[in-house]
Chain A
């Protein structure tokens, strides 16, 4: 036996990215606009979806719900009369902390791609790993709640740079938390200058219309291309 050096020079995420491109091709063929929705646990992704998806006029939506375990979120969304497919990541190393392209690929046969215009992939709540793994989405939206503090863009730049829209949630909590919106915006603009942002309270419904319109515009663009 002897040792041989083998030159590789490969991005460690190449395999994931290849599968993500295959997913994207399938979504494009079906004319489906795909959103990868990411946030920390408890930032309000599911509540936002409950608010947004009900009256999403003119857009046929479905949700792919990623969770380490259980179907609590999928059960909540089921009442909205949009197709919801649950994807559990629990069989990994104590449960994967993010969705990857292969997991999403495994769920494709369960999704009614031909009958929808918009697919929201609700990622596992985590501010780090989901930013590394593309799943075949057209765009990435993150939900960032004021309860998490104004320093988060500086602490999690990978995530804040990975998204095209930041939805700042839980505005109704502003009187109760030490959160300086100007400072937050300054941090956000340092990490991801000029990224689109919307301020909402998914709980009260404040600002949610703007998120719905954003999704409707995005899905309409995809429809025009397909």
Chain B
């Protein structure tokens, strides 16, 4: 439901790195804990990129599973439901080891061949 906001933020980042060059592809790492619906993000990507150098570009989303780590007992586990308690010791001092990414990993841009003369 926040995919429009997320796609706008991604676009802003990509436009900065594209520096005016035409963009054909964007690789994005999306953590499970960000609650992003891939199809919805894809849909909004098509809308927010209109009339920008990203228009028509392919948004490739790599989904990163959520992993929590218990600070006191050291257990690390994958989560599906948002339960932030250690299943081993019941402790609440847990850190997110993975799954909160919203990271533009790379972009593919069109460039003039460098002059070799």
Contacts and interface: CB of A to CB of B under 8 A. Distances in A.
Interface of A: 1-16, 93, 96-98, 128-129, 132-133, 154, 157-158, 161, 189-194
Contact of A193 (B6, B35, B48, B85): B85
A14 to B, nearest CB: 7
B6 A132 contact: yes
Interface string B95-114: 00000011111111111110
Contact of A1 (B4, B35, B111): B111
B111 A157 contact: no
B109 A3 contact: yes
6 contacts: A5-B107, A7-B106, A12-B6, A12-B12, A157-B33, A193-B92
Given A12-B9, A13-B9, A2 B35 contact: no
- Interface of chain B: mostly helix, strand, loop or mixed: mixed
Interface of B: 1-2, 4-6, 8-10, 12-14, 16-18, 24, 28, 33-35, 48, 81-85, 92, 94, 101-113
A203 B47 CA distance: 42
Contacts of A98: 5
B82 A154 contact: yes
Contacts of A93: 4, 8, 48
A96 B9 CA distance: 13
Contacts of B33: 157-158
A132 B1 CA distance: 12
A7 B105 contact: yes
